[in-house]
Chains A and B, each alone.
With several copies, the nearest count.
Chain A
Amino acid sequence: MNRSTLRAAVPPLVALVVLLALWEGAVRLLEVPRWLVPPPSAIGAVGAHEASALLGGAITTGRSALVGFGLSAVLGVLVAVLLASSRMVERALYPYTLFLQTVPIVAIAPLLVLWFGPGPRAVAVSSFIVSLFPVIANTLTGLRSVDPSLRDMFRLYGARRLATLWKLELPAAMPHLFTGLRIASGLSVIGAIVGEFVAGFAEGSAGLGILVLGAYRQLRTDLLFAAVLAASVLGLVLFGAVSLTGARLLRRWHPSAQGT
């Protein structure tokens, strides 16, 4: 945590405080019932009270989301590389990768549970399925956007397919890839939560999805919001980690990371 990282944290924190103040004020002024939209103070209170459940839930869900995200990152890039190998392959298969994204998880949950058992494994797979496509789509665009003259240069020097991939295409696709990963980071959390709705409950470690479901049923809106916020924090942490890594890797050469 050096100085500039700290300084970078100031604007979002200021925004957060402003947001919370507005929210609290609006809820109080308009007398919105607490079970509909609880004020941040109430969410904070229930969050403190249920801190251990929320923390445990965040850890359980976070673990699944992390596995799902990791799988998406690795397999997404691999699939994109495969699709980029020829226009023919891309045309034939790219549309079907979209299938994964348009399948409601609930519809394939039985299969997931049957194949991976109920609990974290199936949840991680759900997270993976939900977050895969953005990685594929962005990496593919990135691979396709490589400056053709640089490609020529590699061809001229007899670069093998793998070297071209490794030393030209992937570095050139990095800015796109990181955008994909940023999107995937948020989706992996939602994928894990939705997965937990259906498949997730291993003894002793109820994830945030289970908390959300239960709190919803019980109309404990404050706890519901606290759990949702915990999920968002999870997403933000992943997102932040991805963004920082990206900024660090791209800083010296890509305009999108300049001035960060």
Chain B
Amino acid sequence: MKVEGLRRTFPGNISVLAGLDLDVAPGSFVALLGPSGCGKSTLLRLVAGLDRAEAGHVTFTPTLERTPGERAPIAYVFQDAHLLPWRSVLDNAALPLELTGVPKAERQAAARAVLEQVGLGDATERYPAELSGGMRMRASLARALVTHPRLLLLDEPFAALDELTRGRLDDQLRALWRKLGMTVLFVTHSISEAAYLAERAVVLSRRPARVVLDRTLELPTERTAALRTEAAFAREARLLNEALEQGEHW
């Protein structure tokens, strides 16, 4: 995936991206950090093709056209849950499969499995209005994971979760990535989460977003809770933190 010279300005002359470049190798796990309002969500939307840039473009090699039989090439966990209020959690999670024509029994089984993974196994029949904030985000995550996408875009999926749940889902996400090898773009505000999860971290500056730091993390592939206390981890976290502070004052 190659992002070249991306420019996006909102009405009112609000320049969010002013020529951003980013090159992401297939199968890599990239964490995206940056101050609130800097343009992370905007970038993700542009990558997903949900918004149009004034200049620049995003190209995918290999192309991200849907292949026959594939569930969905891209999945996106939005910053807000965006569930369909008239559907149960199960039917919400099964939606992407439904849209690609997977038979009912199969898609429900798949949705149930992934809901179990995110800890919503006992809430499959509830409606979004009956969930807590964190449960809604988890349902939304399940909806994204159910498709086994080739490109997974996550916009602060775990912000509303307690640290235990979050840690558990971190581990699951990384395991899934290692198993399936999809490309992951992960927006987070948590430096330690970024360091723990990603292979590579990109820190953006204040609006208009520019790349302050683009670093391949020097950490082992196998990651466990123990990693968080290691020196290498602390160094990476410090580097990220410094870059963030630097980006604040750009």
**Which residue numbers of A lie inside 8 Å of B, CB to CB?**
147, 149-150, 152-160, 163, 167-168, 171-172, 174, 250, 252-254
Contact = CB atoms under 8 A, between A and B. Distances in A.
29 contacts: A149-B78, A150-B82, A150-B84, A152-B50, A153-B76, A153-B78, A155-B49, A155-B50, A156-B48, A156-B75, A157-B75, A157-B96, A157-B99, A157-B147, A158-B99, A158-B100, A159-B99, A163-B99, A167-B98, A171-B84, A171-B86, A172-B86, A250-B86, A252-B86, A252-B127, A252-B129, A253-B85, A253-B86, A254-B86
A168 B84 CA distance: 8
Contacts of B78: 149, 152-153
A156 B74 contact: yes
Residue of B50, B72, B127 with most chain A CB atoms under a 10 A cut-off? B50
B141 interface: no
Contacts of B238: none
A201 to B, nearest CB: 45
Contacts of B75: 156-157
B80 interface: yes
Given A157-B72, A158-B72, A158-B100, 8 more contacts: A147-B82, A149-B82, A157-B100, A158-B99, A167-B84, A174-B86, A250-B86, A253-B86
Nearest to B128: A253
A150 B74 CA distance: 16
B66 interface: yes
A172 B98 CA distance: 18
Contacts of A172: 86
In the A-B complex, the 6 residue pairs with the smallest Cβ-Cβ separation, listed nearest first, are: A253-B85, A157-B96, A253-B86, A152-B50, A159-B99, A157-B99
A149 B51 CA distance: 11
B129 A253 contact: yes
A154 B127 contact: no
Interface string B108-134: 000000000000000000011100000
Nearest to A147: B82
Contacts of B95: 157, 167
Interface string B63-97: 00010000010111010101011100000000110
A47 to B, nearest CB: 43
Contacts of A167: 84, 95, 98-99
Given A158-B66, A158-B72, A253-B129, A153 B82 contact: yes
Contacts of B72: 156-158
A168 B127 CA distance: 16
Interface of B is mostly: loop
A252 B147 CA distance: 27
Nearest to A171: B86
B187 to A, nearest CB: 16
Contacts of A174: 86
A242 to B, nearest CB: 18
Contacts of A160: 99
A174 B96 CA distance: 22
Contacts of A250: 86
Nearest to B88: A252
Nearest to A150: B82
Contacts of B82: 147, 149-150, 153
Nearest to A149: B82
A156 B76 contact: yes
B227 to A, nearest CB: 33
Contacts of B99: 154, 157-160, 163, 167
Interface string B134-161: 0000000000000100000000000000
Interface string B35-57: 00000000001001110000000
A171 B74 CA distance: 25
Interface string B3-27: 0000000000000000000000000
Contacts of B45: 152
Contacts of B80: 149
A140 to B, nearest CB: 20
A156 B127 contact: no
Nearest to B11: A252
B144 to A, nearest CB: 10
Nearest to A153: B82
A32 to B, nearest CB: 48
Contacts of A157: 72, 75, 95-96, 99-100, 147
Contacts of A147: 82
